[in-house]
Structure 1
Amino acid sequence: MVIELQTDLLSAARRAHQRRDWRASYEAFELASRQAPLRTDDLDAFAFAAWRLGHIKESSRAAERVFAELTRTDPAAAAMKANELALAWLVRGDLNIGQGWMNRARRLLAGTDETAAHGYLTYLEAAVAAITHDVDGLRARVGAMRELSARLDVPAVTALSLIAAGVEAILQARTAEGYALFDEAILPLVADQVPIEWAGDIYCMVLHHCHKLADLPRMRTWTQSMEQWCGLSGSVPYGGVCDVHRLQVRAATDDYRGLEDRLSRASRALEEVNSWAAAEGYYQLGEVRRLRGDFDGAATAFEQARTLGMDPQPGAALLACRRGDRQGAWTAIRVALAGRDRLTRVRLLRAAVEISLSRDALDEAERYCAELEADAAAFQTPGFRGWAAHARGAVLVRAQQFGRALEALQVALTEYRTQQSRYETAEVYEWMALAHRGLGHADAAAADAATADAIYAQLGVEPAGICGAPSPGGLTRREREVLTLIAAGATNRQVAQQLHLSEKTVSRHLANIYAKAGVSSRTAAVAWARDNAVLP
């Protein structure tokens, strides 16, 4: 009776696995395993289904048992299983354990005829080289993969070879070549010729580098492609990764009030599944909170990203600057810039210009701005070109070269429209308002400021202002707006309606105002504001 029951369960599990119904497959295999130990191939399928459903630890334990059994019966298959386990640990952010499994695969493959397993292992070596910024090691692995893929003629190995070559090209500022390689690599994925876990890693690699390049048009295209693939593959872990990348893209255009909770949930769900994606999600959450004026919440999110292995820069440095800690911001950004590869430095340079300007260090700002312009010319992405023109415009405004500043800022606007980067667009309008005011064009300055404020209101964020600039009473611009309406007799609900905020956000702003003013009531806060000339 027990044997018949297990046989029926195994038949159901295998059929479900064949049609990619991972939940039915997992549940049937799990019930069958209670009757008697699973065969190696069934245990492998069970591990596969468990991973698709996000049961990462259970999947890893089962896969390790499969590896142990294969080492006795099929060393070549054991080597491939070691590659898969290495990938799983690398994705979870543990380089040491990942490389330990790579060593096992390497030992099993030593002296054997060349197979696809050699190609997968070489790809993992290339991925580790990219993660650890070993440019020479990455170049060597790319060359080896190119030769391997030509000899083996295995579509999956060819796709992985193209991805590794694309990453190497991008890191060397050969952006167009890198994009072309990425586009070619997608073809075997579309043809379903790449195993799911490796296909998912390809998408993650591409989206990660598109994000680093600040190329939102390409990131939107690739995110849509990954979303379609996630739907077809039925993979819960990669579905979570899709969510994070989707929200990164939407941070350019969407109302931030709706993004905060979604980013928090997506990041938390990925912590034990894909620490790289989880860290990126927490970093984006920190940026959303920083721009909304929730400085304590931003600091918490940045620390969560740091715990998962990501240095939360430049967000943490810009947060310090917004809090008025210019020295701390300057130290943080200089430490972050030290020893970074050229591509990673670009995002930091943009913040370095802003922080230098907050310190009135114009020569320092000019030096960082010139480096940013050179990198934008080399990498040639719309995001980098927008950042460079934005930085140049800001430096020129501070140098009181207002006419030239407006020319640069117009270039930034054009690039940001291509990107659909609304927050950066609002920042540019603020700098244009300063430039027009410097030229004596009061009406144009007022129009620019109003445009910036309208965008900020639509996004539900704090107006940017000048990083580190002193504010009356230490209040942010949004806190002053809230207090002004409170002084006029508005209720929290009325304030929320007029400023397009939630009542919860208004309450948080009031709590911040009370803390800064050292008071505990609305009446006392209004009296403090009038005594300290905080209200307009």
Structure 2
Amino acid sequence: MPAALELARTAYEEHRWTVARDAFDVAQNEGQLPARDLELAATAALLLGLETDGVETLTRAHEEYLAANDIVGAVRCAAWLGIHLMNAGNRARGGGWLARAQRLVHGDAESEVAEGFLLIPVGLGSLYSGDVDGALRAFDQLATFAERFADRDIYCLAQLGRGQSRIMAGQVEDGMTLLDEAMVAVTAGEISPLPAGIIYCAVIGTCHLAYDLKRAHEWTAALDQWCAAQPDMIPFSAQCQAHRAALYRLHGAWSEAYSAALIAEERFGLGDRDAAYGAFYQKGEIERLRGEFDDAEASYRRAGETGFEPQPGLALLALARGHRDVALALIRGAVEGSDPGTRRRMLPALVTIELAAGHVELARAAADELRVVSSDSRMPMLNASASHANAAVLLEEGDALGALGEARRASALWRDLDLPFELAQCRALIARAHRMLEDEISAEVELQAARAMFAELGATPSVRELDALRRQRGDSPLTTREVEVLRLVASGLTNKAIAAELYLSEKTVARHLSNIFAKLDLTSRAAATAYAYRQRLV
């Protein structure tokens, strides 16, 4: 065996991609490479971000397999070319390669194993279009093919697709078990580099979608080590940084999160296209939370250019700017018709925005839906989100004691998860509940604690909101919602009319009115109306 070819194969096995590619080039100059070596050389080029070189070399490998009458090898190369080109946005060329692979399969009676490769794009197409049943069928068939022909790469990709499909269908625990099985093979080094990277990044993204922060931590650390062992690899390295940015942001290390997002953006520019959404979305999230609204909008727009909606971040940005109608349209559009996993991720923001718009009944429906999906979940982050959302709605419904209990449950979970921004938001909710219960001492303690946490994070808009809330203490004993009800009472509206105006139930309006009478020591609607005029509320 020529020395260059031996070096190339050894370097490939050791994941030294630059050395492998250069050695394959030397070996190619010394004589025609076999199809398998051309396929390896193409993989090395693609992992270095050399797309044109990788595609051309994989095309030559396909042709060599055909010349050797190796239909399985030819179909494998054609299928990967199709998947890669379609993922890069070149749908015409990608579709052409997949059509060629399909023709080869149908033209060869002994190429049953090759049919498995064509189920990958079929399953992905169903998954991304929201056809969960179709995706499950395709990936179940793919797993059967892989088991029959002992193909570890295809089997693990099938397990990935099966897991994602089940999670989208709401079968979260079963889906995560399938993803764990795929990851065991990846971390054990049992599969090829390209499928390994695909599975790493897809699993971590799915963990975030499913609120499984523990798994997201574990697999992000594994991906980090995998990428660090291959410093010249471009694909997947940027996605690793985007996943790191998400975790840093959640844990309050916003400077580190922003740095990781910038690295992801840089490496995206070098060829890791799949990192674009994560890089720009995480930048947008940090900029929004810091109050850098123009920068956040630009980052969200860049994320949206990838074809994925930058939600709920863009909707929450509109709310932060005071554009409630825009925020409502964005978040409702994102929730409507979405798969269960995406819908679950949007529900907390939907609750927040509906409440800000005064639609308490609609916020109650969203909070109840979140509570149902979390009821049998062992994922603390989902449980915390559900309790937090329910507390916010209970507070607007006038049930301060109920809100206090739910907020305390949520804050304990946020603390255990080490998510400081969410914990600070929850403590602000607790403060509002104490104030509604006329416990100003406890309210002030919670407000000071929440403000300190927001200030340490650099969450400038949240600090301003709390300062405004603290200034309200001496103005009126009434909550914002109670002031709204009082104004409408003073305008002569009945409880039924007020309920329709504020999207509340008549029972909730009656509770607010009872609280108003008690706080102001009043006994009639006429006296409440007189108070409203004295305080210039109408």
Query: Do Structure 1 and Structure 2 share a fold, with TM-score over 0.5?
Result: yes
Cα distance in structure 2, aligned partners of 1:150 and 1:45: 24
Aligned match of 2:486: none
Q: Contact 1:116–1:154 (CA<8 Å) still a contact in 2?
A: no
1:38-53 → structure 2 map (5 Å cutoff) = 40-53=35-48
1:49-68 → structure 2 map (5 Å cutoff) = 49-68=44-63
Residue type of the partner of 2:154? V
For the residue of structure 2 that corresponds to 1:112, the secondary structure is: coil
1:12 offset after TM fit, Å?
4.4
1:81 corresponds, among 77, 82, 93, to 77
Q: Contact 1:396–1:402 (CA<8 Å) still a contact in 2?
A: yes
Aligned match of 1:483: none
1:21 offset after TM fit, Å?
2.0
Q: Does 1:128 align with 2:137?
A: no
1:387-426 → structure 2 map (5 Å cutoff) = 387-426=385-424
Cα distance in structure 1, aligned partners of 2:151 and 2:214: 31
1:326 corresponds, among 324, 338, 353, to 324
Which of 1 and 2 has higher RCO (CA within 8 Å, sep 6+)? Answer: 1
TM-score under structure 1 normalisation?
Answer: 0.80
1:38 offset after TM fit, Å?
5.8
Aligned match of 2:218: 221
TM-superposition CA deviations, 1:229-270 (whole Å, max 9, x none): 334455331222212112211111143133223302313422
1:366 offset after TM fit, Å?
1.3
Aligned match of 2:162: 165
1:307 offset after TM fit, Å?
0.9
Aligned match of 1:175: 172
- Structure 1 runs not aligned, ≥5 long: 1-5, 473-536
1:100 offset after TM fit, Å?
4.1
Cα distance in structure 2, aligned partners of 1:407 and 1:260: 35
230-239 or 390-399: bigger deviation = 230-239
For the residue of structure 2 that corresponds to 1:237, the secondary structure is: coil
Aligned match of 2:11: 16
Residue type of the partner of 1:17? Y
2:427 corresponds, among 408, 429, 451, to 429
1:370 corresponds, among 361, 368, 374, to 368
Cα distance in structure 2, aligned partners of 1:76 and 1:431: 61
Cα distance in structure 2, aligned partners of 1:154 and 1:249: 34
Q: Contact 2:78–2:101 (CA<8 Å) still a contact in 1?
A: yes
For the residue of structure 1 that corresponds to 2:358, the secondary structure is: coil
TM-score under structure 2 normalisation?
Answer: 0.79
Does the C-alpha gap of structure 1 residues 29 and 346 become closer, same or farther in structure 2, counting only changes over 3 Å?
Answer: same
Aligned match of 2:357: 359
Q: Does 1:297 align with 2:295?
A: yes
1:221 offset after TM fit, Å?
0.9
Q: Does 1:193 align with 2:190?
A: yes
Aligned match of 1:25: 20
Residue type of the partner of 2:76? M
Does the C-alpha gap of structure 1 residues 381 and 117 become closer, same or farther in structure 2, counting only changes over 3 Å?
Answer: farther
Q: Contact 1:430–1:465 (CA<8 Å) still a contact in 2?
A: no
TM-superposition CA deviations, 1:38-78 (whole Å, max 9, x none): 66454433322212222223222322233244334333211
Aligned match of 2:517: none
Cα distance in structure 2, aligned partners of 1:102 and 1:451: 58
Does the C-alpha gap of structure 1 residues 96 and 290 become closer, same or farther in structure 2, counting only changes over 3 Å?
Answer: farther
Does the C-alpha gap of structure 1 residues 93 and 222 become closer, same or farther in structure 2, counting only changes over 3 Å?
Answer: farther
250-259 or 150-159: bigger deviation = 150-159
63-72 or 31-40: bigger deviation = 31-40
1:398-477 → structure 2 map (5 Å cutoff) = 398-464=396-462
1:324 offset after TM fit, Å?
0.7
1:383 corresponds, among 358, 378, 381, to 381
Does the C-alpha gap of structure 1 residues 242 and 108 become closer, same or farther in structure 2, counting only changes over 3 Å?
Answer: same
Equivalences, count: 467
Q: Contact 1:106–1:121 (CA<8 Å) still a contact in 2?
A: yes
Q: Contact 2:143–2:154 (CA<8 Å) still a contact in 1?
A: no
Cα distance in structure 1, aligned partners of 2:31 and 2:146: 41
Q: Contact 2:351–2:363 (CA<8 Å) still a contact in 1?
A: yes
TM-superposition CA deviations, 1:336-367 (whole Å, max 9, x none): 22221121112222111111111111112112
Cα distance in structure 2, aligned partners of 1:466 and 1:133: 41
- Structure 2 runs not aligned, ≥5 long: 471-538
Cα distance in structure 2, aligned partners of 1:97 and 1:172: 32
Residue type of the partner of 1:106? Q
Residue type of the partner of 1:222? W
Does the C-alpha gap of structure 1 residues 431 and 387 become closer, same or farther in structure 2, counting only changes over 3 Å?
Answer: same
Aligned match of 2:280: 282
Q: Contact 1:47–1:59 (CA<8 Å) still a contact in 2?
A: yes
Does the C-alpha gap of structure 1 residues 370 and 263 become closer, same or farther in structure 2, counting only changes over 3 Å?
Answer: same
Does the C-alpha gap of structure 1 residues 467 and 125 become closer, same or farther in structure 2, counting only changes over 3 Å?
Answer: farther
1:104 corresponds, among 100, 117, 134, to 100
Q: Contact 1:429–1:452 (CA<8 Å) still a contact in 2?
A: yes
Q: Contact 1:293–1:461 (CA<8 Å) still a contact in 2?
A: yes
Cα distance in structure 1, aligned partners of 2:408 and 2:167: 28
1:193 offset after TM fit, Å?
2.1
For the residue of structure 2 that corresponds to 1:133, the secondary structure is: coil
1:414 offset after TM fit, Å?
2.6
Task: Return the index of the structure with the highest Cα Rg.
Answer: 2
Aligned match of 1:528: none
Does the C-alpha gap of structure 1 residues 20 and 353 become closer, same or farther in structure 2, counting only changes over 3 Å?
Answer: closer
Aligned match of 2:473: none
Q: Contact 1:116–1:157 (CA<8 Å) still a contact in 2?
A: no
356-365 or 179-188: bigger deviation = 179-188
- Aligned-pair identity in percent equals 29
TM-superposition CA deviations, 1:425-477 (whole Å, max 9, x none): 111111111111111112211221122122223322225379999999xxxxx
Residue type of the partner of 2:103? R
Aligned match of 1:336: 334
Cα distance in structure 2, aligned partners of 1:467 and 1:128: 44
Does the C-alpha gap of structure 1 residues 247 and 94 become closer, same or farther in structure 2, counting only changes over 3 Å?
Answer: farther
